[in-house]
Amino acid sequence: MERPSVRRLREEIQQTKPFHDRAHAAGIALVRTADEGRRTFESLVTPHGVSIEQYNVLRILRGAGEKGLPTLEIAARLLEKNPGITRLIDKLEAKELVRRARCETDRRQVFCTITAAGAAIVNELDEPSRRQNQQFFRGLTAAQIDTLLDLLDRVRYPDEKP
Amino acid sequence: MERPSVRRLREEIQQTKPFHDRAHAAGIALVRTADEGRRTFESLVTPHGVSIEQYNVLRILRGAGEKGLPTLEIAARLLEKNPGITRLIDKLEAKELVRRARCETDRRQVFCTITAAGAAIVNELDEPSRRQNQQFFRGLTAAQIDTLLDLLDRVRYPDEKP
DNA sequence: CACAATTAGTTGATGCGTCATCTATTCACG
DNA sequence: CGTGAATAGATGACGCATCAACTAATTGTG
């Protein structure tokens, strides 16, 4: 854990650091910041009986409405691989937060829909998660958040011009 | 009448977005960017027979030198909880990349030291990981990396002045 | 000195992510 | 049509993280 005092010191000598050191420091900061966010968010959702991953599935399914979504479509939206999704939904189904039904027109597909109980959990978490997110970024102004978002996008899409 | 530039238009749109939407978008971008970094780094180290987590342990132990470090000191530097470390080191020990020895003056402690084979792996990965990291941040200028680092630090330490 | 509290570390159970492999179904094309 | 390729999804095996509970050694205190 980088201490604040260490950070100030680092800032003072920043100018002399080569690019790869800055990139290294940024990589570490990225991982640690994301990890901290994950943990605090986890402590918000687990009291409601779901993990972060399960919550994300529920949120996607709530957005999909009555018709639901095929299993792998959920995986795609979560940037996740197939096997994980199957088991994630196994657990959500066991808790009756999600229902599965084979598609009639293409019997390979399994459509997943959220139940009322599942939707209730996601709805309950809307406000708290919004607040928690704002709390998480409270060290930044709105303009700084925009900058952060822009920089993160540039990292993921390095070959775009704007 | 002046014609609004594209950028100006974008800024106007941004200003209409409430803070929590920006924070939400930034949160998602943070997670996705960190995850992408993790995956690409993983593909770099796994061919050398270690996972990212094992690599991080080895790097810490290389830094600790001959004397090594007690198990929980490694955990602290990795921001990780104890049980994970024990098993991580179990595997490194099984691969003979790390050695464990009970401390004589305080027999509760177990000092871990890196073996020559372990150090060889970390050394081999120094250059590639440096290059990979630079590649990962290639979409940013040095100044932008500094800004990113600063913003991430502000997120984690929101209550400091600068 | 003895006993309670603390510290270092391990173990068991559970959840997630990933790879390789497998089944079932549909498609594509000769 | 019919057979081989592609697609949707499930399962097994393994690695990691975390919680709770445990052992062993040390420290602190009356």
Nearest chain B residue to A20 by CA: give it: B134
Point out the residue among B29, B136, B146 whose CB comes nearest to the CB of A153. Answer: B29
Q: Quick one: pLDDT at residue A2?
A: 52
Residue at minimal CA–C1' distance from D15? B51
**3-state DSSP of chain A:** CCCHHHHHHHHHCHHHCCHHHHHHHHHHHHHHHHHHHHHHHHHHHHHHCCCHHHHHHHHHHHHHCCCCEEHHHHHHHCCCCHHHHHHHHHHHHHCCCEEEEECCCCCCCEEEEECHHHHHHHHHHHHHHHHHHHHHCCCCCHHHHHHHHHHHHHHHCCCCCC
Are the beta carbons of B55 and B122 closer than 8 angstroms?
yes
Nearest chain B Cα to A162, which residue? B7
- CA neighbours closer than 13 Å in the CB half-sphere of residue A77: 14
Query: Between these two residues, B4 and A139, which has the higher pLDDT value?
Result: A139
pLDDT digits (tens, 9 = 90+) for A73-128: 999 998 888 899 999 999 999 999 999 999 999 999 999 999 999 999 999 999 99
Spatial distance from the CA of B108 to the C1' of C5 (Å): 16
Q: Cβ of A51 < 7 Å from strand D?
A: no
- CATH fold of B50-138 reads Arc Repressor Mutant, subunit A (1.10.10)
Angle at A68 between CA A64 and CA A72, to 5 degrees: 95
A101, A111 contact by CB (below 8 A):
yes
The CA distance from A90 to the nearest CA of chain B, in Å, is: 24
Whether A156 CB is under 7 Å from strand C: no
- Listed by start position, the domains of chain A span 1-48, 50-131
Which residues lie across from B11 on neighbouring strands?
A: none
Q: Do B22 and A149 count as a contact with CB atoms less than 8 A apart?
A: yes
Q: What is the predicted pLDDT for the residue at A102?
A: 94
Which nucleotides of chain D does any protein CB come within 7 A of? 7-13, 15-21, 24-27
Q: Which two tokens stand for residue B63?
A: 């830094």
Q: What's the CA gap between B78 and B36, in Å, rounded?
A: 20
pLDDT at B3: 43
Paired tokens of B157: 């330490």
Check residues B57 and A5 and name the one with the higher pLDDT. Answer: B57
pLDDT score of B44: 94
CA atoms within 13 A on the CB side of A123: 9
pLDDT of residue B5: 46
Q: Which of residues 15-54 of B touch A (CB under 8 A)?
A: 19-20, 22-27, 29-38
pLDDT, residue B79, reads: 78
Closest in A35, A133, A158 to B27, CB measured: A133
**For residues A74 and A86, what is the distance between their CA atoms, to the nearest angstrom?**
10
Tell me if A136 and B27 make a contact (CB, 8 A cut-off). Answer: yes
Secondary structure tally for chain B: helices H, strands E: 7, 3
- Rounded to a whole number of angstroms, the distance from the CA of A106 to the nearest CA of chain B is 32
Digit-coded pLDDT (tens) for A141-153: 999 999 999 999 9
Q: Which of A105, A110, A44 is nearest to A74 (CA)?
A: A110
Q: Which residue of B has its CA nearest to A36?
A: B156
Residue A141 pLDDT: 95
Q: What residues in B contact A4, CB-CB < 8 Å?
A: 157, 160
Q: From B77, which residue of chain A is nearest by alpha-carbon distance?
A: A1
pLDDT value at A12 more than 70: no
> B156 by DSSP, 3-state: which?
helix
CA atoms within 13 A on the CB side of A36: 18
Class of domain A50-131 (CATH, top level): mainly alpha
Q: Would the Cβ of B93 be found within 7 angstroms of any atom in strand C?
A: no
In Å, how far from its chain's centre is CA A60? 11
| A148/B151 touch (CB, cutoff 8 Å), yes or no | yes
Rounded mean pLDDT for each run of 10 residues along chain B, 162 residues in total = 46 61 93 94 94 96 94 90 92 95 94 96 95 95 96 94 62
Looking at the complex, does the CB of residue B139 fall below 8 Å from at least one CB of chain A? yes
Which residue, counting CA atoms, is nearest to the C1' of nucleotide D10? A86
CA of B29 vs chain A CAs: smallest distance (Å): 6
- Which of A86, A84, A90, A94 shows the shortest CA–CA distance to A117? A94
